[in-house]
Structure 1
Amino acid sequence: MSEDGGRLIGGRYRLTERIGSGGMGTVWKARDELVERDVAVKEPRLPGDPRDAAHQRAYHRLQREARAAARVDHPGAVAIHDVVVEDGLPWIVMELIRGESLHEVLQRGALPPTESARIGLAVVGALKAAHAKGIVHRDVKPANVLLGQHGRVVLTDFGIAHIQGEESLTMSGEFVGSLEFIAPERMSGRGAGPAADMWSLGVCLYAAVEGWSPFRRTTLESTLAAILSAEPPEPQHAGPLGPLIVRLLTKDPDQRPDADEVAAALEAVAEGWPAPRGDLTAPQDASLLQEFADDSGTVRFGRRPDEPVVVGPASGPVSAPEADNSAHPDAVPPKRRRRTPRLVAGTVAGALLIAGGVWLGTSLTDVDSDAAGGTAGGGAASGSSKSSPATTTPGPKAPSGTEVWTARPEKDMRAVLHLPRQYVRFHEQGDADDQPRMAIFDNDEVIQVRLTQWDKAPSSSMVRAKEQGDTWAGYGESKSLYTPTTFDGYEATLADTTYDTEGTLTRVMELVILTRDSRMYELRVDMPKGTADEKRGTAVFKGAREGLEIDP
């Protein structure tokens, strides 16, 4: 026991025994003296001075782990009990899983296919629950799969999880995660969607039945090259799991089976049933995605060129109510382009240059294209409207209504945001040296509002909007409609996107503004699609757009 043994955390958690440690901190067994139960407590370990950007990113990553894990309600996901601030750092209190990790089990030898399938079935169940909440785990590996009492399997450590709709908390050029389990699309800088978790699960299943990782090599360089370009050896001991593992380790994320298909195949192997029929690698049919219902009194994106624009007294441009967008060809999402990974010398060389500065044990820091809004240009899943430019004029004050709206000055951004009073500013990041600046607000974790600002615009407003569209396409089937407009005389683009993550629809409404002195602002509201909360979300977007002040 270290010198911290016996320390009381948060006034109720007594540290009793160190369970393990890693790059982000130490995990302790502790006693909750209030309710007399044993728990696990994660002590954070943060690099550098608290004022440093790296320290702040690590701090926010810990907060994100707690928030992400607490949102996943599934018996296969570790339960978060509490988060306490000690010495200015967030300590995460979670359930104590009595047992050992899959990594420890595999040190004694490989597992039979039926047991591997049983473990994988619990993991994919936790991943489905996470994906339904818009959370991509991004660090699925045997060390994070805990095997508890009574056959329980638990996925833990959401410390680098990506929450959809949040900007990356890592800088471009950093990796976080265990190298040999990282999907090739993350290595090549294309970000991580749910398919990346399926890849990592495939590597775990391969290691479980064969006893070794298919991409582990003797050097960092050869491991990177194997992930990006080498086909894994055919599994020899996987039995009925073999075909599924091969499909999961397909380089193209669009060709991997989704979580539902993986769960069906794993259940069949675990129970000894015949393999499910159908091609697990068949791409989703984009036509199955629900059409985008428009809301009365909000901007209708994708107006036909000959459709008149009706300007309401307090709502900005609104298309004529009798118009039917579904008849317009731009309203139909085209099939997604299948992206084939390409191994180029620069990819490996660039990753090695990065890794040279941040390699610690088996972990690297994470390249996430979300930090730059995705890849440049419009994605194949995005349909661009051909409407003529409209004008959006901000009102001098927040809109009237039953809710009380208040001004939220963002002095560093030279802007004022108006929101309903109950919205709380729960996260901020960036400064003059760490662009972009961002402020995020929510009131119930259902509808989220953010304002982002760059001192130097990374692109035009339309290009930026389409880059975001490419990001949403990475989570599943998506449809984006874009409308060129102006805001207070500035170039601007309105974007309306709906994307499907494991059957859960999310709508994102955005206004991207490019000022004459080359600053850029992005107002964005995320909301569930097809629920009463969507009505609230569109109203919040409309009011925030009307009340936004730049250079007040």
Structure 2
Amino acid sequence: MTTANASSTPVGLFANRYRVQGHLGSGGAAEVVRAVDERLERPVALKVFRAGAGAEAAERFALEGRTLARLRHPGLVQVYDYGHWDERPFLVLELIEGPTLRDVLRREPLSPSAAARLGTRLANTLSFVHGHGIVHRDVKPANILIGAGGAPRLADFGVARLTGDAAVTRTGFVVGTPAYLAPEQIRGRQAQPAADVYALGLVLLECLTGRREYGGAPLEAAAARLHRAPAVPGGLPALLRQVLRRMTLTDPRQRPSAIECAEVLGEVMSAAGAVRTQALHLPAPLVRPEPPHPTSAPAAPPTPARRRRGVSLAAATVLGLAALAGGSTLGAAPPAVTPAPAAPAGGPDPAGSTSTPRADVPAAGVPAAAPSAGTAPATDTSGSALPSAPTAGSGPATHAPSKNNANGNGNGNQTTPVKAKRKH
């Protein structure tokens, strides 16, 4: 073994097996380093007990090893081994390549959909832990590791306890991080699974706002929640606001279970995903036929038979249009087209709208061009897709008056009476 002294961070070869490569983090009772198991040739995380931390801390350290060793879940860090070296207990843990949630939130908050996805996975993990009779008691961003693909892994069971077992905790002794303690923990009561649900609610609020709900000194942070409930920000999906308020209720009996939280947060995540999926179903771009290639052979002149078929087709088209117009008579001269008066640049037109051309209002008789392929819908900061501009047939919309309509009524019909030709 090669270390500077018994209380420093391990270096070199630890326990004649683990080659230390670097420092990962430290807590009140232990140091965590990255190492390679030279026997199995795999990377691991070594959590080594700090000498002089006290007998109670050593007991908690051993409890963490026993607790994690009996649990196998994708949302937990796996324990490979537990032992002693140079009078220092140590744990060999699965190495999670990624930052903690605290590191992520230092850069920027999460969108509601991302927070709901994170909360769904963590709530499922807590439900598994609670099902084995274990309360974590220290759910916080620093104890949540973000692994491959953004999957959260709940770590640090050093202060966990079995339900109904208070052997490690002294009477009246509060265990956990003050900023995330449930009100009943502050009052000195034993933590039940509802305390983990409360802490997860505070973690999700911090994910959305980027700040701790109860900051300040430890005593101030602990006492603040006895005087006010957490503030759930507005502008969130209604279902997300509702579940966050329920998770952080003062009375632990009124809070939902971890599995109930996972179900509701899963609905929030699914709803956000449905909105994004719906926004991606855009109409296909309008494809216009290409003009004939200049080198192509000229079309053959129409034969008399072709001319007769063309006249018949034109007559059928006129009959169809006359039936749709309703009120037009055969033999009537086509209505004269009077152009709309041009409005001055930047000023209002006769209908009261500005003369600035709008890309979403097509000219009369020309279908609106659809968004180009690959164009993604605009999104807001919450990650929800913003509604796109209305397209033809999607519902009522306000358009500029048709240029083929002199009086601006937008129906495309000429209102000036037209006299039918007199037969001579």
Q: Output the TM-score relative to the length of structure 1.
A: 0.46
Structure with larger Rg:
2
Whether 2:18 is the aligned partner of 1:13: answer yes
Describe the shift of the 1:26–1:136 C-alpha distance in structure 2 as closer, same or farther (beyond 3 A): same
Mapping 1:107-122, distance limit 5 Å = 107-122=106-121
* Matched letter for residue 72 of structure 1: L
Describe the shift of the 1:2–1:85 C-alpha distance in structure 2 as closer, same or farther (beyond 3 A): closer
Equivalent pair of 1:10/1:84 in contact (CA under 8 Å): no
Describe the shift of the 1:10–1:220 C-alpha distance in structure 2 as closer, same or farther (beyond 3 A): closer
2:233 to 216, 232, 235: 235
Match in the other structure for 2:181: 182
Match in the other structure for 2:59: 60
Instruction: Tell me, in whole angstroms, the C-alpha distance in 1 between the residues paired with 2:11 and 2:220.
Output: 45
* Matched letter for residue 228 of structure 1: L
1:46 positional shift: 4.8
**Secondary structure at 1:85 match in 2:** strand
Q: What does the per-residue CA deviation read over 1:271-314, in whole Å, with 9 as the maximum and x for residues that have no partner?
A: 22799xxxxxxxxxxxxxxxxxxxxxxxxxxxxxxxxxxxxxxx
Moved over 6 A (4+): none
Match in the other structure for 2:375: none
Instruction: Tell me, in whole angstroms, the C-alpha distance in 2 between the residues paired with 1:139 and 1:181.
Output: 8
Q: 5+ residue gaps in structure 2?
A: 275-424
Match in the other structure for 1:142: 141
Instruction: Tell me, in whole angstroms, the C-alpha distance in 1 between the residues paired with 2:190 and 2:80.
Output: 30
Instruction: Tell me, in whole angstroms, the C-alpha distance in 1 between the residues paired with 2:115 and 2:86.
Output: 41
Equivalent pair of 2:139/2:180 in contact (CA under 8 Å): yes
Instruction: Tell me, in whole angstroms, the C-alpha distance in 1 between the residues paired with 2:128 and 2:242.
Output: 25
1:174 positional shift: 2.7
Instruction: Tell me, in whole angstroms, the C-alpha distance in 2 between the residues paired with 1:47 and 1:249.
Output: 37
Match in the other structure for 2:41: 36
Mapping 1:330-345, distance limit 5 Å = none
* Matched letter for residue 150 of structure 2: G
Match in the other structure for 1:264: 263
1:149 positional shift: 1.4
* Matched letter for residue 256 of structure 1: R
Instruction: Tell me, in whole angstroms, the C-alpha distance in 2 between the residues paired with 1:211 and 1:94.
Output: 30
Match in the other structure for 1:364: none
Q: What does the per-residue CA deviation read over 1:65-94, in whole Å, with 9 as the maximum and x for residues that have no partner?
A: 111112222100111111121122320110
Q: What does the per-residue CA deviation read over 1:428-473, in whole Å, with 9 as the maximum and x for residues that have no partner?
A: xxxxxxxxxxxxxxxxxxxxxxxxxxxxxxxxxxxxxxxxxxxxxx
Describe the shift of the 1:40–1:271 C-alpha distance in structure 2 as closer, same or farther (beyond 3 A): same
Aligned-residue identity in percent: 38
1:224 positional shift: 2.3
**Secondary structure at 1:11 match in 2:** coil
1:125 positional shift: 1.6
Match in the other structure for 1:207: 206
Mapping 1:317-328, distance limit 5 Å = none
Equivalent pair of 2:145/2:154 in contact (CA under 8 Å): yes
Describe the shift of the 1:74–1:250 C-alpha distance in structure 2 as closer, same or farther (beyond 3 A): same
**Secondary structure at 2:226 match in 1:** helix
Instruction: Tell me, in whole angstroms, the C-alpha distance in 2 between the residues paired with 1:145 and 1:95.
Output: 14
Instruction: Tell me, in whole angstroms, the C-alpha distance in 1 between the residues paired with 2:187 and 2:10.
Output: 43
* Matched letter for residue 66 of structure 2: R
Describe the shift of the 1:199–1:2 C-alpha distance in structure 2 as closer, same or farther (beyond 3 A): farther
Describe the shift of the 1:165–1:8 C-alpha distance in structure 2 as closer, same or farther (beyond 3 A): farther
Instruction: Tell me, in whole angstroms, the C-alpha distance in 2 between the residues paired with 1:17 and 1:129.
Output: 32
Match in the other structure for 2:222: 224
Instruction: Tell me, in whole angstroms, the C-alpha distance in 2 between the residues paired with 1:203 and 1:225.
Output: 15
Describe the shift of the 1:228–1:168 C-alpha distance in structure 2 as closer, same or farther (beyond 3 A): farther
* Matched letter for residue 134 of structure 2: I
1:14 positional shift: 1.6
1:2 positional shift: 8.0
Equivalent pair of 2:179/2:214 in contact (CA under 8 Å): yes
